[in-house]
Structure 1
Amino acid sequence: MASSRPKMDEIARLAGVSKATVDRVMNNRAGVQDHTRKHVLAIAANLAGEPALSASGTVCLDFVLPGGSNAFMADLVSQIERRAELRGDVDVVIHRVAGVDPEQTAAALGGLRANCQGVGLIGLDSPSVREAVRRLIASGVPVLTLVSDISHVGRMNYVGIDNRAAGRLAGYLIGRFLPGAAGKVALLAGALAYRGHEEREMGFRHVLSESFPRLDVVAVREVHEDPDRAHDEVRALLEEHDDLLAIYCIGAGQDGVARALTETGRDKSVIFIGHDLTDQTRHYLLSGVMDAAIDQNAQVEAREAIDRLVRTVRDEPNIPTTTIRIQSVFRENIPSEV
């Protein structure tokens, strides 16, 4: 490697692995899976200015993702673009779909560029989207689902967290924050047409029923990923239930929840659990309005999605499906970077 050898911690950060793993790879020691070893070596070579190997040519990938002001989606887009740039052998185009509209998602899937070789999708689990996915797969274009899965379409892989487990974790945290309490909790869903949001609600309800039966879900509000609508729904909930103990926000809309709690002076008395560590939720955790954020790692999701699609396009052996690790983030353990 060149004299300007990249630092181990920089390689670890960009590769999404530990420094111990990087050390084992760079010193050719055992204990690292082959795909991880290749990934770390590629990152190290890129940082050192060495040319990337792309004997199979550039792979053209399209990603169809929700639009709007969702901070997590903005982070995911940034990570996908960064991963493609780091690899050097991938050409990525990202299509953002406005609103929670399955017809627009289906139209986007039907209007991809002609040289598209693989698709990454966060889509609603609806008949029109499923049919659009099936058409792509039938035409020879592999489709990978991200963040929220879609059932019975023959997608090649799913990259994301176990959303049912995430919902269970949210319920468990609320139950532990309110030991022995009996009272009301509310749930705000971004869009239950996302299978991931539906699974989070199921997990949340089940763990409350199993372990905290004195906590009662008194309301489920679907805010269609709109922070202003979330704000209005929470204001109405607080007026209707002045004894509300906790709110679980499944998707986007967390800004609206935080504003409503702050405006009504309930930001220190109502437990608020949300999703994803972003600049926005970092602020809410530090200020105390949010008690915990259930995080999924956008950097790892971007890396896994692109790498798996490329391996499929190149007919290389693929990696078995594994879910992304879920992390509970509190005020006291916020990572140094978002």
Structure 2
Amino acid sequence: MLSTIAVIVQEPVAMFELGVLCEVFGLDRTDDGVPAFDFRVCSARPGEVLRTTSGVSVVASHPLEGARGVDLVAIPGGSVDGPFDPVVLDILRETAESGGRVLSVCSGAFQLAAAGLLDGRDCTTHWRYAARLAAEHPRACVDLDVLYVEDGPVLTSAGTAAGIDACLHLVRTELGSEVATRIARRMVVPPHRSGGQRQFVETPVPSEPCEGLQDVLEWVAERLDEEHSIPSLAKRAAMSERTFARRFAAEVGTTPHKWLTSQRVLRARHLLETTDFDVERIARESGFATAAVLRHHFQRQIGIPPVSYRRAFTKQPVSA
């Protein structure tokens, strides 16, 4: 269970990355049915002003000892140069070894590497630092082509906004898709982006103004059981098919077909967790033609069949 979260901040504090962790875990959303988290911002200098990369100041509320014995220790981005606080490295190792989880956002992966937690593990960081992380820590299996990677108790994420995806993935894994979706809805972000998407290294910023596809994405997400195609979606977005496909790749980071499939799998996960529908009905409700098609895509994305997923994540009676 994920209930106690400690974020360790060190100068210079990366404000966006810290903000991501505060937004997902630090806000009281019990009125939305989200469990309350015991959220702690920890530092070797609690109560003192810490400088940040953004010109504002941060004051941590807890000492480093407040990060011991928690369910999750998170490291936002920051300096990649080191040397890193040996007490912080000890806390990271202790957490991973005692059944807890550790999470890095962006360049925070360098501290996990310094603690030896990336040795022999798949991991990622911001694309600007990936080559350096691989060179300085050759035993780490650095993957540039992902948004986040979970390997055992260690979860690493790429730059900035990918930290949101990693945090929501963790919430979904520990607390279920319904809780993750409620948090995402309040944050006005997609509830799920697969960690296997590429970082946007080779995607240029559109030269013309981009009005966004959020309305289309939300419309589709409410009608996943209906047929959708690039021509129909382009028409709804009032774009040519070519422009729509290009805009979609630039804004969403994948193709319309892959995004739609991932959303349908997400819908199937939700139904498996919260209903006793059989797999055939869940396939129809999610927009897959048959249970066989659902099983194919579910196994490919999640790694286990739908029925096995239901057994692992719910106490509902299992229907074939």
Higher-RCO chain (CA-CA 8 Å, sequence separation at least 6):
1
**TM-score computed with the length of structure 2 as normaliser:** 0.32
**TM-score computed with the length of structure 1 as normaliser:** 0.31
